[in-house]
Amino acid sequence: MTSSHDKTRQDTTWPVTTPAANDGRRLNSWKEVAAYFGRTDRTVMRWEVERGMPIHRVPGMLKSRIYAEVGELEAWRRGSQALLEEDDTVEVGTGGAAPETEPQPRQLVSRQLWFAAGLVIFGALIALIIQLWRQGAAVPFIPAAPPPLAAQRLYVQGMDEWERRTPASLNLAVSKFRQAIAIHPGYAEAYAGLAESYDLLREYTLMPEEQSYSLAKSTAEHALKLNDRVASAHAALAFADYFGFSDPAGARKHFQRAIELEPRNETARHWYASFLSAEGDYAGALRQINAALAIDPTSLAIQADRDLFLIRNGQATAGVADLKRLATDHPAFLSPHNYLADYAMSTGDNEAFIRQSLIAARLTGNAARLDLLEAARKGLDKGGRMEMLRAMYAQQARLFEEGIGKAADMAHTAGLIGDRARVLANLSLALDRHETELLGIDRDPAYRAFLDDPEFRRLASRLKNAG
């Protein structure tokens, strides 16, 4: 068994450098960099700021995804060995905090001179802006001072949790962003991260969609008031505008602005692809999702949605095969299970539908969905697919009466049954209630039998004009 003394000694030992360490290997997260040096995330983040450790970021505004080249780290380590050995003494000997000392008189004079110079420069800059404004000239964009390092670290941690896309990680991301905002209330990027989190909470947790999208919209709008050049805030607002408030024109404008500001923002392109797919532009959706995947080939969310768009674009064999791979390799990742369940329902594979839906319901702790699937199982065992669908409809109606169900869900199941009266009644009710699950009903296989029905077409037209 390793003693605590041995553990401390191990943690302060540099990794052994071998020729393979400099062969172009890349570390793709703070956790990997920290593990490489045998330190904590916080320590290596501090080294980047205080010691100039070479860290790269995907082009963008403080995006969370970082990477480091092992060869560069080794070269930096050799040049910084003395400073870092001194840092070891501070970290191990004092519990990670260096003793603070009073500034010397020469330091105080230097600080005062720098402060005075800063005031002079700031005053001159303000005078220049006023002069340009009076002359009608364009005033250049001047970025605000960067947030404090503590706030930036919380933002980075929040984006790392957001990328994981689990109920726990998304709630933790919200907490990190709120902490960053508490430190720096003008932190537009942190508000954008919070808005992006709200956009996803309705899918990965039990937060009601209406609440999720409303919070995302208001938070993204606040981010843009602070800084309208934050691409992720435009993307978060666009996502909420379209999927939460049926505003395709507004969504398109903000998606395009996000990509204009930050062409290599993988989330903007990913979510724009989702928008295009929902609008029926499957070829455009694939172009955008492929661009997103080229920027971040490690993203599970982008991979899963690309598979979904392949299915919608008539390439089901490839899409389903890769979704199954993702579900096997990453069983706790929600999206592949939901997408495979939907595909199984559309193709009549009832067993696969129940199996994948059960996994998704358990991952999110969705008791209502579990009850629905129990009813589906009993119906399937009793009388096959049609009895399964009838049992599901009855359970959905009970949930609706209890105030936790959706008219859109009942309409979808009624469509699969072929019950025209219930399809039309529930679609009308869902429209009256401004439910958000109705986008693309004219392309949903559940309603294929009703596409030429005048009343169905009237409701679909009403949906398109709702924004």
pLDDT of residue 124: 58
pLDDT of residue 99: 35
pLDDT of residue 53: 78
pLDDT of residue 439: 78
DSSP label at 345?
Answer: H
Query: Which long-range contacts link 114-120 to residues 24+ away (Cβ below 8 Å)?
Result: none
pLDDT of residue 268: 96
Give the DSSP H/E element, type plus range, for residue 56: strand 56-57
State in words which class domain 150-262 has: mainly alpha
Return the SS3 of 14: coil
**What Cα–Cα distance (Å) separates residue 149 from each residue in 75, 154, 291, 449?**
25, 9, 32, 58
Quick: pLDDT tens for 352-371: 999 999 999 999 999 999 99
CA–CA gap between residue 41 and residue 161 (Å, rounded): 14
How many other C-beta atoms are found inside a 10 Å radius of the C-beta of residue 435? 18
Return the SS3 of 45: helix
DSSP label at 103?
Answer: P
Report which residue type is found at 8. Answer: T
Q: Are 197 and 215 in contact (CB under 8 A)?
A: no
**What Cα–Cα distance (Å) separates residue 231 from each residue in 58, 59, 143, 189, 365?**
14, 12, 14, 9, 33
pLDDT of residue 131: 60
- Find, among 151, 132, 150, the residue nearest to 141 by Cα: 132
pLDDT of residue 329: 96
Tokens of residue 281, six digits: 């532009």
Give the DSSP H/E element, type plus range, for residue 57: strand 56-57
In order, the DSSP letters of 114-153 are HHHHHHHHHHHHHHHHHHHHHTTPPPPP-PPPPPPHHHHH
CA–CA gap between residue 113 and residue 167 (Å, rounded): 51
Tokens of residue 4, six digits: 């605590």
Q: Which residues contact 25 (CB under 8 A, 6 or more apart)?
A: 69, 70, 71
Tokens of residue 282, six digits: 């499957």
DSSP label at 412?
Answer: H
CA–CA gap between residue 212 and residue 215 (Å, rounded): 5
Q: Are 265 and 229 in contact (CB under 8 A)?
A: no
**What Cα–Cα distance (Å) separates residue 418 from each residue in 85, 341, 389, 415, 423?**
73, 20, 10, 5, 8
Q: Residue length, the chain? A: 467
Tokens of residue 172, six digits: 């933790």
Domain extents in the chain: 4-93, 150-262
pLDDT of residue 65: 65
Residue numbers of the chain with a pLDDT score lower than 70: 1-24, 46, 49-51, 57-65, 79-144, 465-467
Tokens of residue 199, six digits: 């956009």
CA–CA gap between residue 191 and residue 227 (Å, rounded): 10
Residue whose entry in the numeric block shows the structure tokens 């401390």: 8
Residue whose entry in the numeric block shows the structure tokens 């070891």: 88
